[in-house]
Structure 1
Amino acid sequence: MKTRAGKILLVLAGIILAFILAEILVRVFLPQNKMVTWIEMHPRGFMMNQSDIEALHEFDDRTLRYQFNEWGLRGNKKIQQDDINILLLGDSFTFGLLLNQQATYASLLQDRLHANFPSADFQILNGGIGGTGLADWPGWLNQKGESISPDIIILYLNYMDVDRALSKNLYVVEDSKLQNSIRWKPRKIFMSLGRMGWYRWLQEHSELTNILVKLAWRDLYFSDQTDNFSQQNSQVLIPPADAFDPKSGYSLQLAKLLTEQLQIWCEQNGCRFILTTTGFFDENSTGAHTFSYYKSLVNETPENIYFFDNTPCVHEQTQGDFDNIRIPGDSHPNERGAQIIADCSWNWLQPFMEKEVISHEN
Structure 2
Amino acid sequence: MKKLPIKNILLLLVFLGTFLLIAELSIRITYGVRLVYEVDNELYWKLKPNQIGHPDFGLPTASINSDGFRGKEITPPHNCNILVLGDSYSFGWGVLDNETYPSLLDAFMGSSTEVINAAIPGYGLFQENILFKRIYPNLNPDVVILLLNKHDLVRTPFTNESAKEKYLLHITLRKKIGRYSELSKFVSQKINRAFGTRLGIDSLNYVSEYQDFKTLWANQQHYIEEMTAILAKDNKKLYLILYPPKINNQTASAEFYNTITNSVGSNIVFIDDLDNANLTAEEAHISATDWHPSALAHQLIATRIYQEFQRANFTFNGKTCKPTSYPHPQSS
The TM-score range, normalised by the shorter chain, is 0.7 to 0.9
Contact 1:109 1:346 in 2 (8 A): yes
Letter in 2 for 1:163: V
Partner residue, 2:284: 325
Query: What is the root-mean-square deviation in Å for CA atoms of aligned residues?
Result: 4.1
Q: Which of 186, 189, 195 is matched with 1:210 structurally?
A: 186
Give the equivalent residue in structure 2 for 1:298: 261
Q: CA deviation at 1:71?
A: 2.0
Report the equivalent of 2:50: 52
Match of 1:17 among 6, 15, 18: 15
Provide closer, same or farther for how the CA distance between residues 47 and 282 of structure 1 changes in structure 2, counting only shifts above 3 A.
farther
Is the contact made by 1:183 and 1:225 (CA closer than 8 Å) also made in structure 2? no
> In the TM superposition, what are the counterparts of 1:266-345 in structure 2 within 5 Å?
266-267=231-232, 270=234, 272-277=236-241, 279-282=243-246, 285=249, 292-299=255-262, 301-303=264-266, 305-309=267-271, 311-312=272-273, 314-317=274-277, 319=278, 321-329=280-288, 330-345=290-305
1:122 maps to 2:101: no
**Secondary structure at the counterpart of residue 54 of structure 2:** strand
Query: Structure 1 CA distance, aligned partners of 2:136 and 2:173?
Result: 23
Query: Displacement, 1:212?
Result: 3.9
Distance change (3 Å), C-alpha of 1:14 and 1:139: farther
Encode CA deviations 1:317-359: one digit per residue, 9 max, x unaligned.
2x25232221124212222121111122222122336223963
Partner of 1:87: 83
Contact residue 160 and residue 287 of structure 1 kept, 8 A = no
Mapped partners of 2:17, 2:127: distance in 1? 38
Query: Aligned partners of 1:154, 1:301: CA distance in 2, in Å?
Result: 16
> How many residues are aligned here?
309
Q: 2:229 aligns with which of 253, 261, 264?
A: 264
**Distance (Å, rounded) in 2 between the aligned partners of 1:35 and 1:171:** 34
Could you state the TM-score of these two structures normalised by the residue count of structure 1? 0.69
Deviations 1:41-74 (A, max 9, x none): 52235442222222235654x5x33221222111
User: Does the CA contact (< 8 Å) of 2:35 and 2:47 recur in 1?
Assistant: no
Q: 1:122, 1:273 → 2: CA distance?
A: 17
Aligned counterparts of 2:143 and 2:136: Cα–Cα separation in 1: 11
Give the C-alpha shift of residue 112 in structure 1. 1.0
Q: For residue 56 of structure 1, what is the amino acid of its counterpart?
A: H
| Aligned partner (choices 329, 347, 360) of residue 307 of structure 2 | 347
- Displacement after TM superposition at 1:24 (Å): 6.3
SS at match of 1:186: helix
Distance in 2 (CA, whole Å) between partners of 1:59 and 1:360 is 42
Specify whether residues 245 and 58 from structure 1 end up closer, same or farther in structure 2 by C-alpha distance, changes over 3 A only. closer
| Cα distance, 1:322–1:252 mapped onto 2, change above 3 Å | same
Residues 287 and 75 from structure 1, CA distance in 2 versus in 1: closer, same or farther, beyond 3 angstroms?
farther
Matched with 2:325 is none
User: Match of 2:142?
Assistant: 151
Instruction: Name 1:252's counterpart in structure 2.
Output: 217
The 3-state SS of whatever aligns with 1:169 is: coil
Name structure 2 gaps, 5 residues minimum: 1-5, 322-332
Are the equivalent residues in 1 in contact too, given 2:102–2:117 (CA < 8 A)? Answer: yes
Cα 1:307/1:286, change in 2 over 3 Å: farther
Paired residue for 2:101, among 98, 105, 114?
105
CA distance in 1, matches of 2:219, 2:162: 13
Q: Determine if the alignment matches structure 1 residue 187 to structure 2 residue 165.
A: no
Q: Any residues of structure 2 matched to 1:218-257 within 5 Å, and which?
A: 218-219=198-199, 224=204, 245-246=211-212, 249-257=214-222
| Percent sequence identity over aligned pairs | 18
Which secondary structure state, in structure 2, belongs to the residue aligned with residue 332 of structure 1?
coil
Alpha-carbon distance between aligned partners in 2 of 1:184 and 1:286, rounded to the nearest angstrom? 39
After TM superposition, give the deviation of residue 274 of structure 1 in Å. 1.2
User: Could you tell me which residue of structure 2 aligns to residue 176 of structure 1?
Assistant: none
Q: In the aligned structure 2, how far is the partner of 1:122 from the partner of 1:139?
A: 25
- In the TM superposition, what whole-angstrom CA distance separates every residue of 1:274-322 from its partner, at most 9, and x where no partner exists? 132254232863895x86453133345412x22222x42x2222x2523
Matching residue's letter, 1:298: T
In the TM superposition, what is the alpha-carbon distance from 1:104 to its structure 2 partner? 0.8
Q: Structure 2 CA distance, aligned partners of 1:36 and 1:47? A: 15
Question: 1:79 deviation in Å?
Answer: 3.5
CA contact (8 A) 2:198 2:204 kept: no
Which blocks of at least 5 consecutive residues in structure 1 are unaligned? 1-6, 173-179, 230-242
Identify which range, 273-282 or 350-359, moves more after superposition.
Answer: 350-359
Asked whether 1:77 is paired with 2:73, we answer yes
Alignment equivalent of 1:38, drawn from 36, 55, 69: 36
Distance in 2 between the 1:273 and 1:39 partners? Answer: 31
Query: Does structure 2 retain, via aligned residues, the 8 Å contact 1:93–1:333?
Result: yes
Change (3 A) 1:11 1:276: farther
